[in-house]
Chain A
Amino acid sequence: MDHAQGAQAKGMAYYFKHHLREYGLLIALIAIMLFFQVVTDGTLLKSVNITNLFLQNSYIIIMALGMLVVIVSGNIDLSVGSVMGFIGAFAAVMIVELGQPVWITIIASLGMGVVIGAAQGYFVAYWKIPSFIVTLAGMLVFRGASLWLLEGQSVGPFPREFQSLSTGFVGDILPKAATSGLAELAGSRNFNALAMGLGIIAVAVIVYMGLRDRARNAQYGIEGEPKSFFIVRNVVIALALLFVSFKLATFRGLPNVLISMVVLTVVYAFLTANTTIGRRIYALGGNEKAAKLSGIKTERLTFLAFVNMGLLAALAGLIFAARLNTATPKAGFAVELDVIAAVFIGGASMSGGSGKVIGAVVGAFIMGVMNNGMSIVGIGIDYQQMIKGLVLLAAVFFDVYNRSKQG
């Protein structure tokens, strides 16, 4: 009995050690949030600020999804900030100056993103020009192109329906009268039942899928996460989700952009982890020659990774412009660095072949919470930059140190 318990404890320690990166990232995010919650006297986790956090970071997270794919494939895209700005300018010119309808503008902008991604991907994939160089060129070209399009001016404002891309909220399913009791209970002006309901459903789905996975693993005799870890992890995630949905419910409900963000994150997490195309991208980044000799169309995959990045950068550009309600020549300046930093904080490897979507998203939130928290506390932009730089270095150092110890 004692012996069996000892063996189990050893197994847990072993499991923790080998998944230190994943748990560490989550723990780091929670620690950073608690820290700022304390030093901002509770402002960080106020309803309005949580809503703001999502609005502020949505475009970074959306681009981090594409960047993760690009980095896993063994490449990099330095142009995303410029492309994002350019698409914002493109949309502004179409709507404000040419008077095109919003939906045509959105389709044209996304199409333009695809074309830009395809153009850069073409040189990287089929001409083997290092992506660093191609996208450095792209960064300069599209920075210039937005200046040219906007003629150095800010162009705006946008019609309301375009703005709702970013700053809109999903209306509640229940009439206000039905939720007034809940609002009273929560001690707020109103209560959005949809936000709370979806939060509860999300928790139920996550727990159900986790349990189903465990059952199947057991059936196939695969040893997975120790039970206690599974419980603790799920309880933490469930509490966090319920907390966030409660906070959103007591403010204005679900922001539109949160919906697109969550849907995209789920889609990309599934694509990278569970599909053949995802697996092939990891293989391509891990060893391009071996992947190619295994019958994988490596060039086409690289090309598609950049097309996908262009599409997501365009979407981010639309959301960013909608939030500012104007397109400026400076939009998206140096954003590529935040996006790339988020992916590396999330545990991706510079040489390609490893990294997870969830890691990139958590990495983006770590950066986002720090930006937000430091701004609330009133730390100057000078210190903010230095601290962010050191956090990136520390995260990657932690990775490298861990790997050398596992050797």
Chain B
Amino acid sequence: MTPLLEMRAITKTFPGVKALDQVNLQVAEGEIHAICGENGAGKSTLMKVLSGVYPAGSYDGEIHYDGALAQFRDISDSEARGIIIIHQELALVPLLSIAENLFLGNERAAKGVIDWRETFQRTEALLKKVGLKEAPATRIEQLGVGKQQLVEIAKALSKEVKLLILDEPTAALSEADSQALLDLMLELKTQGVTQIIISHKLNEVRRVADTVTVIRDGTSVSTMTAASGDITEDRIVRDMVGRDMSDRYPARARNPGETLLDVKNWNVWHPEHAERQVIRDVNFHVRKGEVVGIAGLMGAGRTELAMSIFGRSYGRNISGSVSLKGQPIDVSEIDRAIDAGLAYVTEDRKSLGLVLDEDIQTNITLANLPGVAKAGVINEREETQVAEKYRGAMNIRTPSVFQKVVNLSGGNQQKVVLSKWLFAQPEVLILDEPTRGIDVGAKFEIYGIINDLAAQGKGVVMISSEMPELLGMCDRIYVMNEGALVGELTAEDASQERIMSLIVTD
């Protein structure tokens, strides 16, 4: 069988960098093909070459598509041939309806006047295909991320897609939404849509992919097929990082000490809908040198719990008590919570954790400016020394601490955020999805940092949607569902099945 797509010896150079070096990719008609690789390995560049963002002539090598040599000049050129990319950042207009978004730029219209009847009819048909029951007139902002992702796919289907490319489609989705999306991918496959998926989540890759191509440092290093049974997570990881990673979670001596943080009878109501209780009677504690996980589905209230404790940055009518080492502490304002010894590393580092246009140094000292200042005057040299210290300790890969953080990779950005909070000298750190969207190698480093923190006697609360990560890292795991803690498991007792069953039987 001839492949639908064949990219041969693609080489793409930017001034000073070879982003892609002789990459080969073969996608058979009707298959789901996964591309795996660390951040910066060249996956997105390859997809940009394929879709014409980098037009023919700006790269070396050949693209054969649908039986002919393809030389796309731009995205609309490749779209016309049925190649459609769904990016990680969704490209929907929040204030327009589903129907308007589906046909944006491709309106069902005669002489500029939109035919709403046809638009709505076709929208309904497309929504049915992707399993959405929403009305076509629903505004996008009223949908969750998972459903928005399905709308994107419906939009792709409206354009007679032949090759659908999904860039990290489940990165922001809950477990249930992810499963629904993967099911849809398999369903589309039976309808003959060829698909390429870029993903960090290897269990998902294993579930849907017929073929996996691993890219490392701009070259294609291996291809494995499900048919021959050689797709295993261990092998993908090994090829991605270029070395054996027998243990994905670094070992740590586990000997928790006295109780550090103790939260009692915590109740929180929704900031806008005053009658909705978001957190119900939560009690939990963290000991010195302990890593405690909070597991749960998206929307279980984990982030809301963390933020309501951290200076009441979420919710209203908050009640309950927080104490540190047995002494009640004041967490009514964020600066007081920080002074009391708390730190909260947000799940959304770009919009909540970093000042992207500032340099590394400025970001690191932001939560503890008095630490580099005397009488309100900043000593910039001392500040640089502090930043350099963390650059070394955290292994932040950058030529200098004067680099703007917007130019760093996800993993390095996360290390900057962690540095910021370590410099604030906390006793307890609450880490909300600390490894979201960062690659395998950087994840391993973050785990190492978390272990170091525990070894130094800090208490760590780790919120994560990736259950293997919680199981690999935590001494204890609380399970949260619908705003309440529904169970507590020790590391020995915990398993994915037990966590899920606690959630389901609640």
Q: Which residues of A contact B (CB under 8 A)?
A: 216-217, 219-220, 222, 274-277, 279-280, 282-283, 286-287, 289-297, 353-354
Complex Cα distance A289/B356, Å?
12
Contact partners of A275 in chain B: CB under 8 A = 373, 376-378
Of the 9-residue stretches B38-46, B114-122, B153-161, B347-355, which lies at the interface with chain A? B347-355
Q: Which of B364-387 contact A (CB under 8 A)?
A: 366-367, 369-370, 373, 376-378, 380-381, 384-385
Which of A220, A290, A292, A297 is close to B354, meaning CB atoms less than 8 Å apart? A290
> What is the minimal beta-carbon distance from B360 to any residue of chain A, in angstroms?
14
Q: Provide the residues of chain A in CB contact with B338, threshold 8 Å.
A: 294-295
User: Which chain A residues border B362 with CB–CB below 8 Å?
Assistant: 279, 282-283
Residue numbers in B under 8 Å from A279 (CB-CB):
362, 366, 369, 378
B334 near A293 (CB under 8 angstroms)? yes
User: What would 18 A/B residue contacts be, using CB atoms closer than 8 Å?
Assistant: A216-B381, A222-B384, A276-B369, A276-B378, A279-B369, A280-B369, A282-B355, A282-B362, A286-B355, A287-B356, A289-B351, A290-B355, A292-B334, A293-B334, A293-B353, A294-B420, A295-B335, A296-B366
Residues on B with C-beta less than 8 A from A291 are 355, 366
A290 touches B352 (CB 8 A): yes
Residues of B within 8 A of A217 (CB): 381
Q: Which residues of A contact B335 (CB under 8 A)?
A: 295-297
- Count contacts between A and B, CB distance < 8 Å: 81
User: Closest B-chain residue to A298, C-beta based?
Assistant: B334
Q: Give the 3 A-B residue pairs with the shortest CB-CB distance, closest first.
A: A286-B355, A295-B335, A294-B367
CB-based contact B355/A287 at 8 Å: yes
Q: Is B346 interfacial (CB-CB < 8 Å)?
A: yes
Q: A290 — which chain B residues lie within 8 A by C-beta?
A: 351-355, 366
B40 nearest CB across to chain A (Å): 17
Q: Are A295 and B356 in contact (CB under 8 A)?
A: no
Contacts of B351 in A (CB 8 A): 287, 289-290
The proximity string for B residues 280-314 relative to A, scoring 1 for CB distances below 8 Å and 0 otherwise, is 00000000000000000000000000000011010
The reply on B183 being an interface residue by CB < 8 A is no
The reply to whether A274 and B377 contact each other, CB–CB distance below 8 Å, is: yes
Cα–Cα, bound, A293→B343 (Å): 9
Identify A354's interface contact among B334, B353, B357, B424, CB under 8 A: B357
- State the Cβ distance, B394 to closest chain A Cβ, in Å: 18
Chain A: minimal CB distance from B384 (Å)? 6
Contact A276 B376 (CB under 8 A): yes
- Report the separation of the CA atoms of residues A289 and B313 in the bound assembly, to the nearest whole angstrom: 10
> Using Cβ atoms and an 8 Å threshold, which residues of chain B touch A293?
310, 313, 334, 344, 346, 352-353
Q: Is the CB of B385 within 8 A of A220?
A: yes
Give B424 Cβ to nearest chain A Cβ, in Å.
8
The complex places the Cα of A145 from the Cα of B151 at a distance, in Å, of 54
* Identity of the chain B residue whose Cβ is nearest the Cβ of A297 in the assembled complex: B335
B462 to chain A, nearest CB (A): 18
Q: Is B358 an interface residue (CB 8 A)?
A: yes
Q: Which residue from chain B places its CB closest to the CB of A287 in the assembled complex?
A: B355
Determine chain A's interface SS by DSSP, over half rule: helix
Q: Are B313 and A353 in contact (CB under 8 A)?
A: no
- Give B413 Cβ to nearest chain A Cβ, in Å: 12
CB-based nearest A residue for B367: A294
Task: Determine the distance from Cα of A292 to Cα of B366 in the docked complex, in whole angstroms.
Answer: 10
Chain A minimum-CB-distance residue to B381: A220
Q: Which residue of chain A is the closest to B380 with respect to CB atoms?
A: A274
In the bound assembly, the distance between CA atoms of A53 and B378 in angstroms comes to 35
Residues of A within 8 A of B352 (CB): 289-290, 293
* Chain A: minimal CB distance from B303 (Å): 12
Chain A residues with Cβ under 8 A from B367's Cβ? 294-295
- Taking the closest CB of chain A, its distance from the CB of B216, in whole angstroms, is 25
| Docked complex: B400-436 residues within 8 A CB-CB of A | 420, 424
Residues of B within 8 A of A286 (CB): 355-358
Taking CB atoms, residues of chain A closer than 8 Å to B384 are 220, 222
Q: Which residue of B lies closest to A292 (CB)?
A: B334
Known: A279-B366, A294-B334; 16 extra A-B contacts, CB below 8 A, are A216-B381, A217-B381, A220-B385, A222-B384, A276-B378, A279-B369, A286-B355, A291-B366, A293-B313, A293-B334, A293-B346, A293-B352, A294-B338, A295-B335, A295-B337, A295-B424
**Docked complex Cα distance between A297 and B313 (Å):** 12
Closest residue of A by beta carbon distance from B307: A293
The 8 Å CB contact of B378, one of A219, A274, A289, A295, is A274
In angstroms, Cα B373 to Cα A292, docked, is 20
Which residues of chain A have C-beta atoms less than 8 A from B334's C-beta?
A: 292-295
Give the residue of B333, B358, B380 whose beta carbon is less than 8 angstroms from that of A283.
B358
Mark each residue of chain B from 424 to 456: 1 if its CB lies under 8 Å from any CB of chain A, else 0. Answer: 100000000000000000000000000000000
Provide the bound-state CA to CA distance between A354 and B362, in Å: 13
Specify which of A217, A282, A287, A297 lies most central, judged by the most chain B CB atoms within 10 Å of its CB: A287
Within 8 A of A (CB), among B14-45: none
Smallest Cβ distance from A374 to chain B, in angstroms?
36
Among the listed A216, A277, A287, A292, which residue makes an inter-chain contact with B313, where contact means beta carbons less than 8 Å apart?
Answer: A292
Give CA–CA (A220, B361) in the complex, Å: 15
Least CB distance, B313 to chain A, in whole angstroms: 6
User: In the complex the two chains form, is A276's CB within 8 Å of B373's CB?
Assistant: yes
Q: Please, which residues of chain B bring their CB within 8 A of the CB of A216?
A: 381
Quick one: CB contact mask for B152-176 with A, threshold 8 Å, 1 for yes? 0000000000000000000000000
Q: How far is the CA of A353 from the CA of B358 in the complex (A)?
A: 8
| Contact present for B311 and A353 (CB under 8 Å) | no
Within 8 A of A (CB), among B326-345: 333-335, 337-338, 344
The residues of A that contact B370 with a CB separation of less than 8 Å are 276
A291–B366 Cα gap in the complex (Å)? Answer: 8
Q: Which residue of B lies closest to A278 (CB)?
A: B378
- Bound: A220/B401 CA distance, A: 14
CA distance A27 to B218 in the complex (A): 43
Complex Cα distance A294/B370, Å? 13
Expressed in whole angstroms, the Cα–Cα distance for A159 and B369 within the complex equals 48
**CB-nearest residue of chain B relative to A353?**
B357
Whole-angstrom CA separation of A217 from B379 in the bound complex: 12
Residues of A within 8 A of B346 (CB): 293
- The CA of A354 and the CA of B346, in the complex, are separated in Å by 24
> Whole-angstrom distance between the alpha carbons of A269 and B63 in the complex?
56
What's the nearest-Cβ distance from chain A to residue B404, in Å?
10
In the assembled complex, the CB of B273 is this many whole angstroms from the nearest CB of chain A, namely 19
Q: Does B376 lie within 8 Å of A353, measured CB to CB?
A: no
Residues of B within 8 A of A295 (CB): 311, 334-335, 337-338, 367, 424
8 Å CB contact of B376 from A219, A277, A287, A354: A277
Q: Which residue of A lies closest to B353 (CB)?
A: A290
